[in-house]
Amino acid sequence: MSTINQRPVSNTPIAYGLMSLSPTMGVINGMEVALEFEGALIEGNRKSILGVTDVSCFASFGIKGTEAASWLMSQSIQIPMNRNTWVEHEGYLVLRLGGSEFLIEGQYSEDQYSHEIFEKLARFNQATVAGVYKVQRADAAFILSGSEVLNMLSELCMLDLRDSALASNTLVMTQLASISAILLRHQLNGEQVYRVWCDGTYGAYMWNMLLEVARELGGGAVGLASHFRGTHK
């Protein structure tokens, strides 16, 4: 098992859904994650058609309140100016969920898992900052990749996502497989992918639903190492 950033180990929200697949596991940011399922060749093919990857291990921080935007900017964190949009900056994503709530998520790099910004955010004390409140987050998070992603989403989501719904730097809060979810599209290592977040208590269910449709369309489970070469078995 590979370990990056030694911390007490927690289970991914989709741990139950992974049990039957017997993946090679690693630990990133204190959470177990599936690095590989069936080898680079098979998973590379799946990823090009329709791959489903658990990235719940990425560090995240939630904050809201009337002064949340101002406080984040005071911490030199770039934020989206409009509601239901997102920006990527210095290795992390910042999602603006409505007018005054934000989700910040770290990304993995080949060199290291960058979490300096989260060490700064962890020192936040809402008792000393008026109008700003921490939001406890325990999301299940996924990467969807490949040519068949929109066909998957058309089966699981009532919104038409083929045109302007996911325009550049736009996110949608919708129902995916009848579960409330956040969805956006962005570039990862030069490849267009889709990101999904949902409440972690529904993580295993969401994983199973995504995987079922992926298999129907010729894809399947893809380990984190397929997207990030810096992860090792």
For the chain, 233 residues long, the average pLDDT of each consecutive 10-residue run is 55 92 92 93 96 94 95 92 92 92 80 63 87 93 96 90 76 94 92 95 97 97 87 50
Cβ atoms of residues 141 and 195 within 8 Å? yes
pTM of the model: 0.90
Residue 184 tokens read as 């956006």
Give the per-residue pLDDT at 231.
56
Residue 81 in 3-state DSSP?
coil
Return the CATH fold of 2-58+138-226: Gyrase A; domain 2 (3.30.1360)
Give the per-residue pLDDT at 115.
63
Task: Name residue 21's amino acid.
Answer: L
Task: Name residue 173's amino acid.
Answer: M
Return the CATH fold of 60-135: Alpha-Beta Plaits (3.30.70)
Which residue stretches of the chain are H helix?
A: 15-18, 40-50, 68-74, 116-122, 149-156, 203-216
- Report d(CA 124, CA 157) in Å as an integer: 36
Q: Where are the chain's structural domains?
A: 2-58+138-226, 60-135
Say how many C-beta atoms besides its own lie within 10 A of residue 17's C-beta: 21
